[in-house]
Amino acid sequence: MNKIRLAVIFGGKSSEYPVSLHSTGSLLSQIAKDKYEVVMIGITKEGAWFQYFGDVEDIEHDHWSNHPQNRPVVLSCSNTQKGFLALKSDQTYELVPVDCIFPMLHGKNGEDGTIQGLFTLSQIPYVGCGHMSSAICMDKEMTHIICERAGIPCAPYMAVYQQDVKDVAQLYAQAKETLNVPFFIKPCNAGSSFGVHKVHNFEEFQQDLNDAFYHDGKGKVILEATITGFEIGCAVMGNEDIITGSVDEIEITDEFFDYEGKYEMRNSAIHCPARISSSLIQQAQELAKRAYRAMNCSGMTRVDMFVNEKEEIVFNELNTIPGFTATSRYPTMMKEVGISFPDLIDRLIELAMTSHKE
């Protein structure tokens, strides 16, 4: 059996660069070597692309970019030369053909539709959502608009554009009246809780608004009402036919599930399956499927939700390239329904090879 030539892309010009390195290390250590010939493509923090030939451990420890055998590459967007064009030492290029791409990128430029557009032009199959779905899932305002239109319960919110902010005190007064205090400020286009703040007063609002705009990079944030309760998540996978993993639960002692809570498990714990009734688990899985369909997702997505004080499920957001270590939430929820990590990788690649993205 011929091996599938799989390009795994990691790193990226994003604040979530280190998250990508850990996800990639786990992916490469778990992938079936007898099925795939892996081509490793690393993107530096500055945005330079290289074909990498070193050890997986050096990716996880962020030593990969100094490897002496690295060579610059670009993605070929010609359907007659499907793969990467690598610069050789004699300054000529050679084609590195690939059958499929697995982007292990998080955040800006990685799961916001930017790089997915390049993949679409290349006509090379790739794992995960298409460029349009990735873009709208990344934008929290667009997510609200589409999901609310689809009848999916969401937290009340306000979208704020930086160029429209003339009077911060007036904006705070409007948010306080509409959303009550405390409320959240979130960048519209960022992940891993960068720039997310829970606002209790006007002094916090002034500072936190500027930080959220900074992390968004596009001058747009949302103000969102606090849902009193706790967060849950559900792994969803598929193209035309979709399945869900188990539902997990986030237990925190801080005010919200921030970066340290997510990646260092500081003052937080994850329970899988969630400590909720089977009826609520089923409701969460159905709501996750509805959100997945509404946002035109394919391949994989983790759908995050809340259980409020009335034991009602409220939608939060979607993550089109969720954390992908062996202990990350998405693989753990799939493992809970009998899909091992290596099997999960195989299924996602198969979905990519058989899909027709927009």
Residue 255 main-chain phi, psi, to 5 deg: -75, -25
> Which pLDDT band, with edges at 50, 70 and 90, does 79 fall under?
confident
Residue 182 has pLDDT above 80, yes or no: yes
| pLDDT interval class at 190 (50, 70, 90) | confident
Asked whether the predicted pLDDT for residue 257 surpasses 80, the reply is no
pLDDT digits (tens, 9 = 90+) for 226-237: 999 999 999 999
Q: Radius of gyration of the chain from Cα atoms?
A: 21
Question: Domains along the chain?
Answer: 4-126 (3.40.50.20), 137-153+228-354 (3.30.470.20), 157-225 (3.30.1490.20)
**pLDDT score at 236:** 98
CA atoms of 158 and 224, how far apart (whole Å): 6
For residue 263, what pLDDT band results from cuts at 50, 70 and 90? very low
Please give the sequence-ordered ranges of beta strands (E in DSSP) within the chain, or none if there are none. Answer: 4-11, 36-43, 49-52, 71-75, 83-87, 93-97, 100-103, 157-161, 183-187, 197-199, 220-225, 229-238, 242-252, 268-271, 299-308, 313-319
- Average model confidence (pLDDT) across the chain: 93
What would the pLDDT profile of 307-336 be if each residue is shown by its tens digit? 999 999 999 999 999 999 988 999 999 999
Q: How confident is the model at residue 254 (pLDDT cuts 50, 70, 90)?
A: low
pLDDT score, position 266: 60
**Which residue type, as a one-letter code, is found at position 146?**
I
**pLDDT score recorded for residue 267:** 66
pLDDT of residue 195: 86
Q: Which of 139-153, 207-221, 249-263 has the highest mean pLDDT?
A: 139-153
Give the CB-side neighbour count of residue 176, counting CA atoms within 13 A: 12
pTM of the model as a whole: 0.92
Q: How confident is the model at residue 262 (pLDDT cuts 50, 70, 90)?
A: very low
Query: In this model, does residue 220 exceed pLDDT 60?
Result: yes
Q: What is the mean pLDDT of residues 160-184?
A: 96
Is residue 118 classed as helix, strand or coil in its secondary structure?
helix
Report H helices in 9-78.
Answer: 17-30, 56-60
Q: Is the pLDDT of residue 178 over 90?
A: yes
Per-residue pLDDT averaged across 273-286, rounded? 98
Structure confidence at residue 277 as a pLDDT band (50, 70, 90) = very high
Could you give the CA distance from residue 347 to residue 342 in angstroms, rounded to a whole number? 9
pLDDT in tens, 139-160: 999 999 999 999 999 999 999 9
DSSP symbol at 164: G
At 38-62, the pLDDT tens digits run: 999 999 999 999 999 999 999 999 9
Q: Cα–Cα distance between 160 and 184 in angstroms, integer?
A: 12
